[in-house]
Amino acid sequence: MPQITVDYSAPLAEGFDRQGFAVALHAVVVETAAAKSEACKSRFRAVDDVVVGAQTAGHALVHVSLALLPGRSDEVKSALTSRTLELVRAYVKPVDGVALHASAEVRDLEPSYQKFVD
């Protein structure tokens, strides 16, 4: 915990500092949601195909999903999504002629969540 998944349009890969984004986001999660830095885990998934409305070109997506253990208030979750989107702006370079659609969500992990570290 937290489990962070970032889906992003593949054409953004060259201009997306994913490592820098993850380190910055982990610091924000620690500060905003009282998580432990060593517990933050991020994974990135490049998405080849994006369709916005009826458009298959000229758009790119970044969606950040943060899953936390239950107990954070709606205000904390809202602050975390806002700060996450600020980081997307800072770490994803614009691509000429491409509209960037960025979103973020914070959800609670299910009670069945378990983990181990070897």
Environment class of residue 74 by beta-carbon count within 10 Å: exposed (0-12), middle (13-18) or buried (19+)? exposed
Segments making up each domain of the chain, as ranges: 3-108
The answer to whether domain 3-108 has CATH 3.30.429.10 is yes
The model carries a pTM of 0.95
- Rounded CA separation 29/68 (Å): 10
For the stretch 46-60, pLDDT in tens is 999 999 999 889 999
Q: What percent of the chain has pLDDT over 90?
A: 94
